[in-house]
C-alpha cells in the first residue's frame, strides 16, 4: 500500500468517526435510528464493527444498533439497504476487505462490474439515482459558476444518470441543447427531470454504455463523478470513447474531487480520503490527484487545459484534443 493509500486509510477512518459528531454539533445530523449491518456470524470483523458502533454512539449521543445477517455470508447487498427503516440510517460495514479491494464490492458480491446489476434491480436503481440526484443538486450551481458555458450549443452528459446536472445547465443556458447518455436505468428517469425544469424539448435521451461508444456532435462533454468509479484501465477506455466522439474543438469537462498529492489533516483532505477508500472498496475506483488525471487524459489523446475549483469539494478539469 503506497503512502497516499496509507494516509487515506488514517484520514478516512478519522472522517468516518468525526463527521457525524461534527454534523450533530451543527444540527446537521437528524436524531434518527442508526444501524450497522454486519454480514455473517460473530467474527473479528464483527468485533471491529461493534467498536465502530460504540464510537459512533458516543459521537451522536444516541444508540447505534449492530445487526448480523448470517445468510449474507459476509456480504450485505443493496437489497438489505433498501429494507432499512425509512426513518433511519443504515451503514454497511466493510467485510472481506482484501477481496473487496481486489475486485470491488459490487463485482465481487453481485457478479457484475460497476453498475450493471442495477439493470435488473429497478427499485435499487431508482433509489441509487435519487441519491445521485441529491448529491449533484448540492454542487450543480457551484459547478456551473466555475466554468463559462455561454457559448455551448450541444452538451452531451456522459454517464449523467437521470440528468440533474444537465437539466440545471439547460435552464441556465437557454440556447443550448443536451443529450443525456447513460444506461437505460438512468436515462429512464430523465424525461421527468427535464419536464420539471421546462427543458424537455431541448434534450435527447440515449441509452448505452460509454465503454462501447459515446454520442458524437457535442461541443461540450460532461463527465461528473464518473471517472472515480473506475480503475485506470477502464478510465482510459471510456475517455477514449469520449475522444472518438469529440470534434477537434470540443471541450470535455471532468468534474471530480482532486486529491492533494500530499494530503493534510484538513477537513477537505479527510473527506477526499474517505471517498477514495469508499470508491476503492466498492468499485475498485479511486479519487485522483491532478497529475493522475493529466496522465489519464494524455493516454487518450487529450490534454489538460484548465482546472477550475468550485466553492464545494469538486473541481472542473477542462480537457481538449491534443495538438499534433
- The least confident of 60-69, 210-219, 257-266 is 60-69
Pair 145, 136: CB distance under 8 Å: no
Mean pLDDT of the chain: 75
298 is catalytic: no
Q: What does the pLDDT read at residue 61?
A: 64
Dist. CA 108–CA 279, nearest whole Å: 14
Q: What is the pLDDT of residue 77?
A: 37
Indicate whether 237 pLDDT > 60.
yes
**Do strands 154-158 and 89-92 pair parallel, antiparallel, or not at all (unpaired)?**
unpaired
CA gap 187, 180 in Å, rounded: 7
Q: What is the mean pLDDT of residues 253-267?
A: 90
Considering the entire predicted model, what is its pTM? 0.70
Residue 258, pLDDT score? 94
Position 159 scores a pLDDT of 94
pLDDT average, residue stretch 240-254? 97
pLDDT of residue 41: 45
Q: Could you tell me which of 239, 125, 234 has the C-alpha nearest to residue 184?
A: 125
E-strand ranges in 171-235 read 177-182, 203-207, 220-224
Catalytic residue among 95, 109, 228, 298: 228
Q: Given a cut of 60, is residue 219 above it in pLDDT? A: yes
> Cell 459528531 identifies what position?
21
- What is the C-alpha separation between 92 and 100, in angstroms, rounded? 13
C-alpha span between 119 and 128 (Å, rounded): 12
What pLDDT score does 165 carry?
95
Beta-bridge partner residues of 34:
64, 89
Res. 56 pLDDT band, cuts 50 70 90: low
Q: Name the band, by pLDDT with cuts 50, 70 and 90, for residue 125.
A: low
pLDDT at 6 over 90: no
Q: How far apart are CA 204 and CA 187, in angstroms?
A: 10
Angle, CA of 315, 235 and 208, to the nearest 5°: 100
Amino acid at each position: 500500500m503506497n503512502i497516499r493509500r496509507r494516509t487515506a486509510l488514517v484520514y478516512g477512518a478519522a472522517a468516518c468517526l468525526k463527521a457525524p459528531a461534527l454534523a450533530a454539533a451543527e444540527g446537521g445530523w437528524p436524531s434518527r435510528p442508526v444501524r450497522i449491518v454486519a454480514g455473517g456470524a460473530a467474527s473479528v470483523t464483527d468485533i471491529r464493527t461493534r467498536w465502530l458502533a460504540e464510537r459512533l454512539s458516543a459521537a451522536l449521543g444516541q444508540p447505534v444498533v449492530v445487526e448480523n445477517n448470517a445468510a449474507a455470508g459476509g456480504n450485505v447487498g443493496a437489497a438489505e439497504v433498501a429494507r432499512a427503516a425509512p426513518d433511519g440510517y443504515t451503514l454497511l460495514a466493510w467485510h472481506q476487505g482484501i477481496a473487496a479491494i481486489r475486485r470491488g464490492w459490487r463485482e465481487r458480491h453481485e457478479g457484475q462490474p460497476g453498475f450493471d446489476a442495477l439493470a435488473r434491480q429497478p427499485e435499487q436503481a431508482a433509489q441509487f439515482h435519487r441519491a445521485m440526484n441529491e448529491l449533484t443538486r448540492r454542487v450543480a450551481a457551484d459547478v456551473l459558476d466555475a466554468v463559462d458555458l455561454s457559448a455551448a450549443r450541444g452538451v452531451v452528459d456522459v454517464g449523467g444518470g437521470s440528468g440533474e446536472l444537465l437539466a440545471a445547465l439547460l435552464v441556465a443556458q437557454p440556447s443550448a441543447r443536451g443529450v443525456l447518455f447513460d444506461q437505460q436505468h438512468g436515462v429512464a428517469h430523465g424525461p421527468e427531470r427535464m419536464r420539471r425544469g421546462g427543458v424537455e424539448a431541448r434534450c435527447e435521451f440515449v441509452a448505452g454504455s460509454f465503454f462501447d461508444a459515446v454520442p458524437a456532435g457535442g461541443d461540450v462533454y460532461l463527465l461528473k463523478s464518473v471517472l472515480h468509479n473506475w480503475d485506470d484501465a477502464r478510465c482510459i477506455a471510456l475517455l477514449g470513447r469520449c475522444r472518438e466522439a469529440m470534434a477537434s474543438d470540443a471541450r470535455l469537462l471532468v468534474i471530480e474531487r482532486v486529491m492533494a498529492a500530499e494530503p493534510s489533516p484538513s477537513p477537505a483532505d479527510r473527506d477526499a480520503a474517505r471517498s477514495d477508500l469508499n470508491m476503492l472498496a466498492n468499485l475498485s475506483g479511486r479519487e485522483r490527484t491532478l497529475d493522475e488525471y493529466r496522465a489519464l487524459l494524455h493516454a487518450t489523446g487529450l490534454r489538460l487545459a484548465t482546472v477550475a475549483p468550485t466553492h464545494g469539494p469538486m473541481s472542473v478539469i477542462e480537457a481538449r484534443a491534443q495538438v499534433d
